[in-house]
């Protein structure tokens, strides 16, 4: 007999009706009062967190040698791209004389920095949603990369055959 440890109800009704404090109280085995204190501490920690992020942004802008690209990438990441009337990352990259992939690289970097790796920060006025980017990367194929992978696999197979024949 196989026992399934997964919940027997879909969707989990308790998860849908429990409040944040009830979930925390259960998770940490504390009272609702202590759970409320945890929630309040997390909310009040947001201000120092924002100050830390702002300091990181200023530090990046001061130390980077490609300030125009960095500032435009920051504007895109923050959803401020409409200030320049730009329609796409490609248009902005062309105006700055850089590749779209470089600009996109900076935009993703700013998004990560602004999110602090804790909060979801994904403004997609000009750029792709993070889930879309992952799906695209998985599905993207290039004939050149396919050929390179095939050649590399053949070389590995040849080396393995040689090692097996010794």
Domain containing 92: what range? 46-127
Residue 161 resides in a domain: no
Instruction: Judge if 76 and 111 occupy the same domain.
Output: yes
Instruction: Judge if 82 and 95 occupy the same domain.
Output: yes
More confident residue, 122 or 102: 102
pLDDT band (50, 70, 90) for residue 1? very low
Instruction: Judge if 21 and 80 occupy the same domain.
Output: no
Q: Which of 4-8, 21-25, 42-46, 155-159 is predicted with the least confidence, judged by mean pLDDT?
A: 4-8
Instruction: Judge if 26 and 84 occupy the same domain.
Output: no
Instruction: Judge if 39 and 96 occupy the same domain.
Output: no
Question: Is residue 61 predicted with pLDDT exceeding 80?
Answer: yes
Residue 144 resides in a domain: no
Residue 69 resides in a domain: yes
Instruction: Judge if 107 and 58 occupy the same domain.
Output: yes
Instruction: Judge if 40 and 51 occupy the same domain.
Output: no
Cα–Cα distance measured from residue 157 to residue 155, given in angstroms and rounded to the nearest whole number = 5
Cα–Cα distance measured from residue 2 to residue 43, given in angstroms and rounded to the nearest whole number = 43
Residue 140 resides in a domain: no
pTM over 0.75? The answer is no
Residue 132 resides in a domain: no
Contacts of 18 (CB under 8 A, 6+ apart): 26
Closest by Cα among 21, 53, 23 to 40: 21
Mean pLDDT of the chain: 75
Query: By percentage, how much of the chain surpasses pLDDT 70?
Result: 67
Split into its structural domains, the chain has a count of: 2
Radius of gyration of the chain (CA): 24
pLDDT score, position 78: 80
pLDDT score, position 119: 46
Instruction: Judge if 18 and 77 occupy the same domain.
Output: no
Residue 21 resides in a domain: yes
Instruction: Judge if 114 and 66 occupy the same domain.
Output: yes
pLDDT tens for 92-121 read 899 999 998 889 888 888 887 777 655 455
Instruction: Judge if 62 and 84 occupy the same domain.
Output: yes
More confident residue, 155 or 12: 155
Cα–Cα distance measured from residue 106 to residue 134, given in angstroms and rounded to the nearest whole number = 17
């Amino acid at each position: 007999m196989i026992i399934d440890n997964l919940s027997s109800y879909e969707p989990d009704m308790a998860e849908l009706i429990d409040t944040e404090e009830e979930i925390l109280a259960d998770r940490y085995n504390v009272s609702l009062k202590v759970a409320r204190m945890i929630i309040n501490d997390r909310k009040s920690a947001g201000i120092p967190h924002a100050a830390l992020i702002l300091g990181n942004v200023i530090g990046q802008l001061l130390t980077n040698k490609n300030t125009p690209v960095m500032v435009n990438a920051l504007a895109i990441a923050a959803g401020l791209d409409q200030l320049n009337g730009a329609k796409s990352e490609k248009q902005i990259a062309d105006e700055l004389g850089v590749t779209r992939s470089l600009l996109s690289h900076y935009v993703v970097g700013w998004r990560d920095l602004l999110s602090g790796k804790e909060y979801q920060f994904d403004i997609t006025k000009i750029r792709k949603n993070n889930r879309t980017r992952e799906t695209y990367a998985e599905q993207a194929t290039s004939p050149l990369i396919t050929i390179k992978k095939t050649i590399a696999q053949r070389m590995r197979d040849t080396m393995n055959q040689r090692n097996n024949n010794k």
